[in-house]
């Protein structure tokens, strides 16, 4: 199965098994049994916990898990190693919450320290002081998408790209453009299925989504994330963007269309199902 392979790949990448984090249960199960309470949800990992998570506003303010319940009927998936992911743009997705520092406080580098580090780096390019690079909470998910960089409501600056071993697709590195926000994300395509995009978030946002609500747009072009330009591709996005609720008017009509589909269960889900089935193991679908 494609998706499972992807998840396993992510496990390797993250250096931990998802079962280490979510023994016997996936986030789906949290939603089913815990009344939607996630111990450490995606939203927290993204640092939007106190923002009325726009991410899922599109889902009639449903909790992520609820969205999942509708979309994937996770309660019947039992111990499938899947969990929900942010509704990424253009896509159906499979995610894996992960953190190498589940028990760690998110690293909040003092501004002064950070400045010092940058200064020294500029001057001497000294050794990096971060002995353990990946100490931030991380969250990875797979997305079926033609677009590499998925809209999630935040603005990102690409700071690097590397060819990845065993993959013909490069990995891109993005950093949140907001000063003092240390969130990073990596984006790469699955080499087993080029249509799948693996996005890994690292760290927590310390600020609200920069994308303003439509009502405050006034044209909105100015707040349109830079990469919208990149998304002008002949492909059609298949799911709503990760708007984090403050949906920007600049998001193209196609996305709104999908948004509506996503919000209305029933036939709309069936439509999405066509995409999801590319992602969801067939046996999961049979269980429904």
Partner DNA sequence: CGGCTTTGACCAGCGC
Partner DNA sequence: GCGCTGGTCAAAGCCG
Does position 161 interact with DNA (CB under 7 A)? The reply is yes
Site for DNA in 163-222 (CB under 7 A): 163-166, 171-174, 177, 184, 186
Task: Give the alpha-carbon dihedral of 171, 246, 280, 3, to 10 degrees.
Answer: 20
Site for DNA in 121-160 (CB under 7 A): 121-122, 125-128, 131, 133-134, 149, 155-160
Q: Of the two residues 107 and 269, which places its CB atom closer to DNA in the complex?
A: 107
Total residues at the site for DNA (CB under 7 A)?
A: 33
Q: In whole angstroms, what is the distance from residue 96 CA to residue 86 CA?
A: 10
Q: In whole angstroms, what is the distance from residue 83 CA to residue 85 CA?
A: 7
**What DSSP element (H or E) covers 72?**
helix 64-72
Q: What's the min distance (Å) between Cβ of 167 and DNA?
A: 8
155 half-sphere exposure, CB direction, 13 A CA radius: 15
**C-alpha angle 169-17-71 in degrees, rounded to nearest 5:** 75
Q: 182: Cβ–Cβ under 8 A, 6 or more apart, which residues? A: 107, 109, 136, 176, 203, 206
Q: What's the min distance (Å) between Cβ of 119 and DNA?
A: 9
Q: What's the min distance (Å) between Cβ of 132 and DNA?
A: 8
**C-alpha distances out from residue 33 to 41, 53, 65, 150, Å:** 15, 22, 11, 30
Q: Of the two residues 77 and 172, which places its CB atom closer to DNA in the complex?
A: 172
Query: With b meaning 16 or more CB within 10 Å and e meaning fewer, what string describes 204-231?
Result: bbeebbbbbbeeebeebeebbbebbeeb
Q: 284: Cβ–Cβ under 8 A, 6 or more apart, which residues? A: 72, 76, 77, 80
Q: What's the min distance (Å) between Cβ of 181 and DNA?
A: 12
Q: What's the min distance (Å) between Cβ of 185 and DNA?
A: 9
Q: What's the min distance (Å) between Cβ of 221 and DNA?
A: 7
Q: Of the two residues 36 and 220, which places its CB atom closer to DNA in the complex?
A: 220
Q: Of the two residues 59 and 203, which places its CB atom closer to DNA in the complex?
A: 203
Q: Of the two residues 228 and 262, which places its CB atom closer to DNA in the complex?
A: 228
Q: Of the two residues 122 and 286, which places its CB atom closer to DNA in the complex?
A: 122
Site for DNA in 219-248 (CB under 7 A): 226-227, 229
Residues lying near DNA in the complex (CB under 7 A): 118, 121-122, 125-128, 131, 133-134, 149, 155-166, 171-174, 177, 184, 186, 226-227, 229
């Amino acid at each position: 199965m494609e998706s499972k392979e992807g998840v396993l790949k992510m496990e390797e990448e993250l250096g931990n098994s998802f079962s280490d984090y979510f023994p016997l249960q996936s986030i789906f199960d949290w939603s089913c049994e815990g009344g939607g309470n996630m111990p450490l949800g995606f939203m927290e990992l993204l640092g939007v916990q106190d923002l009325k998570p726009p991410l899922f506003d599109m889902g009639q303010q449903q909790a992520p898990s609820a969205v999942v319940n509708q979309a994937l009927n996770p309660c019947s998936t039992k111990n499938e190693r899947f969990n929900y992911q942010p509704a990424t743009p253009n896509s159906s997705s499979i995610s894996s919450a992960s953190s190498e520092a589940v028990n760690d406080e998110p690293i909040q580098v003092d501004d002064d320290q950070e400045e010092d580090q940058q200064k020294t780096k500029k001057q001497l390019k000294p050794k990096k002081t971060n002995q353990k690079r990946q100490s931030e909470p991380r969250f990875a998910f797979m997305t079926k998408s033609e677009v590499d960089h998925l809209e999630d409501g935040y603005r990102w600056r690409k700071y690097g790209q590397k060819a990845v071993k065993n993959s013909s697709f490069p990995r891109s590195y993005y950093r949140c453009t907001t000063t003092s926000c240390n969130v990073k994300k990596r984006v790469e395509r699955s080499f087993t299925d080029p249509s799948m995009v693996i996005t890994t978030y690292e760290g927590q946002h310390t600020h609200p989504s920069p994308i303003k609500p439509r009502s405050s747009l006034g044209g909105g072009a100015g707040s349109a994330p830079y990469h919208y330009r990149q998304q002008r591709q002949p492909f059609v996005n298949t799911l709503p963007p990760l708007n984090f609720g403050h949906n920007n008017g600049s998001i193209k009509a196609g996305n709104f269309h999908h948004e509506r589909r996503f919000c209305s269960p029933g036939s709309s889900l069936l439509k999405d199902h066509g995409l999801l089935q590319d992602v969801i193991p067939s046996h999961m679908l049979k269980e429904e």
